[in-house]
A and B are shown apart, each in its own frame.
Chain A
Amino acid sequence: MADKMALAKAINESLRRALESDPKVLIMGEDVGKLGGVFRVTDGLQKDFGESRVIDTPLAESGIVGTAIGLALRGYRPVVEIQFDGFVFPAYDQIVTQLAKMHARSLGKVKLPVVVRIPYGGGIGAVEHHSESPEALFAHVAGLKIVSPSNASDAYWMMQQAIQSDDPVIFFEPKRRYWDKGEVNTEAIPGPLHKAQVVREGTDLTLAAYGPMVKLCQEVADAAAEEGRNLEVLDLRSVSPLDFDSIQASVEKTRRLVVVHEAPVFFGSGAEIAARITERCFYHLEAPVLRVGGYHAPYPPARLEEEYLPNLDRVLDAVDRSLAY
């Protein structure tokens, strides 16, 4: 069945399906129950599945993730919500020192199928700590998988796959796209979770992005097309693992790569992509891999975020610079 639904609703439907099909799936977080989450992503789930499966937790992120680990040890599959990106840090210790490492430490005996949902990114005019993109801080840690859907269909299916994964998955939800609608076919057979997708074919340059920046890159490609440039847009979908094969295949065709993310460029995922792609296809590249992202500065107050976040002009500027080589 294909329905048009908002990205937030697609996640909601996906969580509902997981709760229906697997009694071990739990939803946990601050305000996820009665309120349905501050973005309504868990709307109606507590009403339909009860308080023992959709749990309003105390206000304590370390507690949320730490107890999710314990529940996973007991055979549950917790899907926990961190209310906003900036509030994951009280849980960072549990995620990095425990969640990421238990499988290795137990020589594979223990699996921790925990999904940590984090609404992330800017563009909604919020106060501080509500607009950050901390994915690289997690990608640096072995043992975690990191994904970020860009559209409703992926949000639905990637959530299904994340919950089924026996590895912990940090699921970054592009909050500024929560209300964007797209077709969701709930009977489709999804592709692999960690595979990138070409969302627009092109020949002159590859734009690679994930989460909220995919839509921007598509707009950039439209604008560039008006100027006679034919850009390819790659939706990476997964930050760890990164699908270098797909990036390589695209770059071998277009010979130019611009990576776009909201997170700061310095030590960001674009840096890793640039390094690997340079190693893999040095002789195919006509220009250095360029990155467009946030600056090495604290996320600015709302009235400056347009200057801080990648936008059409900044990405086009990078496209121009790449093509100028």
Chain B
Amino acid sequence: MTVESTAARTPRRSAGSKAGTTGTKRTRTTAKKDAGTEPQLVQLLTPEGKRVKNAEYDKYVAGITPEELRGLYRDMVLTRRFDAEATSLQRQGELGLWASLLGQEAAQIGSGRATREDDYVFPTYREHGVAWCRGVDPANLLGMFRGVNNGGWDPNSNNFQLYTIVIGSQTLHATGYAMGVAKDGADSAVIAYFGDGASSQGDVAESFTFSAVYNAPVVFFCQNNQWAISEPTEKQSRVPIYQRAQGFGFPGVRVDGNDVLGVLAVTRWALERARSGEGPTLVEAFTYRMGAHTTSDDPTRYRGDEERQAWEAKDPILRLRRYLEASNHADDGFFAELETESEALGKRVREAVRAMPDPDHFAIFENAYADGHALVDEERAQFAAYQASFADEGGN
């Protein structure tokens, strides 16, 4: 007998710290300080929305206009709105998973807006705010969380690499990319995002080594959101993370990650260092993961709500709003208009996700190789014949 005899059939049942002592004292490049002393935090805007002077970093935001400040505010509000929409889409079953950036808007918008168009960004899986700054369509970020693709955007159209789930890997890619930039004699810079947990990975330590040895134009941007799933930062490091840089031979700075202005200034400084051939910098943005690790996580198992409440008082959006209002840089009309824009964004994202088609089955075999592969072709053909064996029976 041959296999043809079994070709046509119907489917049979397949189912398918005190951190951030947000004090208002003047701060400076903490890398110069000895390890073991109370880490200082660069901060330009206090939680109360007061602008504090900073001798070292003020110049990086000196010319900032009210319009630009409103822009930063708008970015943060829209990013938070998008994030909330994604969380609710997950609850509704439209997404399989979501990793919320709630609380980290200033760290991401401040650093993202510091980048230039020709700079290159290497994100983790949580950099939705940075993606926004790079002009990646928010809806495109949701494909992988919906399960229709494993990436879904062209990294080169916005110089924004695909999300990286394997912790720490991207820091080496960023370093290599930066080594290439230097070889080309370009004055672009590269920025690699990673978390406090990731700081323990061998890949991250190796990226520090390589970038230092080759003086690569890369900024390591660590969002210390105090948690790696259930493990607090103390489980990863006995010294503040920014101090790690010193041992590798480049500067590290801790910035208040909930202060968008501070983050913008410090990141501009670090990117400028990269551009001007001064090599790598480590920026530790001291912030807080206000939500669960992902929608699969239950943080009540490992942390109390008091901590969260303490951080609520340092909210990044609230403090910029206070500043904008106190300095008369924004009026009620601006905030109202933004509210409308926000809702429209939510709606657009919702609709885009719901309309996202499931991928064609043959997508499994697409792009496994650039130059093709005989076995993939063979398996695709077998798959096609197998699928067709059901279609044959479809009419009856």
Q: Interface of A with B (CB < 8 Å)?
A: 30-31, 33-36, 38, 56-60, 62-63, 86-87, 89-90, 125-129, 223, 266, 295-298, 300-304, 306-308, 311-314, 316-317, 320-321, 324-325
CB-defined A-B contacts under 8 Å, sample of 26: A33-B230, A35-B301, A38-B296, A58-B200, A58-B231, A60-B201, A86-B165, A87-B166, A90-B168, A90-B202, A126-B96, A127-B147, A127-B165, A223-B13, A295-B376, A296-B373, A298-B368, A301-B147, A302-B96, A302-B146, A303-B147, A304-B147, A306-B15, A311-B15, A317-B389, A324-B6
* Chain B residues whose CB sits within 8 angstroms of the CB of A304 once the complex forms: 147, 358-359, 361, 363-364
* Chain A residues whose CB sits within 8 angstroms of the CB of B363 once the complex forms: 300, 304
- Complex-state Cα separation, A313 to B11, whole angstroms: 6
Partner of A127, one of B145, B167, B379, B386: B145
Partner of A296, one of B14, B197, B200, B375: B375
Tell me if A128 and B375 are in contact (CB < 8 A).
no
Closest partner residue, chain A, to B1 (CB atom): A324
- Complex-state Cα separation, A87 to B14, whole angstroms: 30
CB contacts under 8 Å to A, within B133-151, are 143-150
Instruction: For residue B312, give the distance in angstroms from its CB to the closest CB of chain A.
Output: 23
* Chain A residues whose CB sits within 8 angstroms of the CB of B361 once the complex forms: 304, 307
A63-B200, A86-B166, A129-B165 known; A31 vs B373 contact (CB < 8 Å): no
- Complex-state Cα separation, A320 to B236, whole angstroms: 54
* Chain B residues whose CB sits within 8 angstroms of the CB of A34 once the complex forms: 230, 301-302
Highest count of chain A CB atoms <10 Å: which of B14, B143, B236: B14
Tell me if B202 and A63 are in contact (CB < 8 A).
yes
A223-B13, A312-B12, A312-B14 known; A128 vs B144 contact (CB < 8 Å): yes
- Complex-state Cα separation, A57 to B147, whole angstroms: 30
Tell me if A295 and B364 are in contact (CB < 8 A).
yes
Closest partner residue, chain A, to B297 (CB atom): A38
- Taking the complex as formed, is B16 at the interface, i.e. its CB lies under 8 A from any CB of chain A? yes
Instruction: For residue A209, give the distance in angstroms from its CB to the closest CB of chain B.
Output: 17
- Complex-state Cα separation, A296 to B146, whole angstroms: 23
Query: DSSP majority for the A interface?
Result: loop
Tell me if B359 and A303 are in contact (CB < 8 A).
yes
- Complex-state Cα separation, A34 to B299, whole angstroms: 11
CB contacts under 8 Å to A, within B1-38, are 1-3, 5-6, 11-16
Instruction: For residue B284, give the distance in angstroms from its CB to the closest CB of chain A.
Output: 16
* Chain B residues whose CB sits within 8 angstroms of the CB of A301 once the complex forms: 143-144, 147-150, 359
Tell me if B3 and A324 are in contact (CB < 8 A).
yes
- Complex-state Cα separation, A186 to B228, whole angstroms: 36
Instruction: For residue A128, give the distance in angstroms from its CB to the closest CB of chain B.
Output: 5
Q: Quick one: CB contact mask for B375-389 with A, threshold 8 Å, 1 for yes?
A: 110010001001001
Highest count of chain B CB atoms <10 Å: which of A126, A295, A320: A295
* Chain B residues whose CB sits within 8 angstroms of the CB of A307 once the complex forms: 361, 364, 383
A58-B235, A311-B15, A321-B3 known; A128 vs B165 contact (CB < 8 Å): yes
- Taking the complex as formed, is B130 at the interface, i.e. its CB lies under 8 A from any CB of chain A? no
Tell me if A297 and B147 are in contact (CB < 8 A).
no
* Chain B residues whose CB sits within 8 angstroms of the CB of A313 once the complex forms: 11-14, 390
Tell me if A58 and B236 are in contact (CB < 8 A).
yes
CB contacts under 8 Å to A, within B162-209, are 165-168, 197-198, 200-203
* Chain A residues whose CB sits within 8 angstroms of the CB of B146 once the complex forms: 302-303
CB contacts under 8 Å to A, within B211-235, are 228-231, 235
- Complex-state Cα separation, A281 to B171, whole angstroms: 52
Closest partner residue, chain A, to B294 (CB atom): A127
* Chain A residues whose CB sits within 8 angstroms of the CB of B143 once the complex forms: 301
Tell me if B16 and A306 are in contact (CB < 8 A).
yes
CB-CB nearest 6 A-B residue pairs:
A302-B147, A35-B230, A58-B200, A320-B6, A59-B197, A313-B14
Closest partner residue, chain A, to B356 (CB atom): A303
- Complex-state Cα separation, A33 to B143, whole angstroms: 33
Tell me if A317 and B230 are in contact (CB < 8 A).
no
Closest partner residue, chain B, to A66 (CB atom): B202
Closest partner residue, chain B, to A265 (CB atom): B379
- Taking the complex as formed, is B334 at the interface, i.e. its CB lies under 8 A from any CB of chain A? no
Instruction: For residue A222, give the distance in angstroms from its CB to the closest CB of chain B.
Output: 10
- Taking the complex as formed, is B335 at the interface, i.e. its CB lies under 8 A from any CB of chain A? no
- Taking the complex as formed, is B349 at the interface, i.e. its CB lies under 8 A from any CB of chain A? no
Partner of A295, one of B148, B203, B235, B379: B379
Closest partner residue, chain B, to A297 (CB atom): B368
* Chain B residues whose CB sits within 8 angstroms of the CB of A57 once the complex forms: 235
* Chain A residues whose CB sits within 8 angstroms of the CB of B44 once the complex forms: none
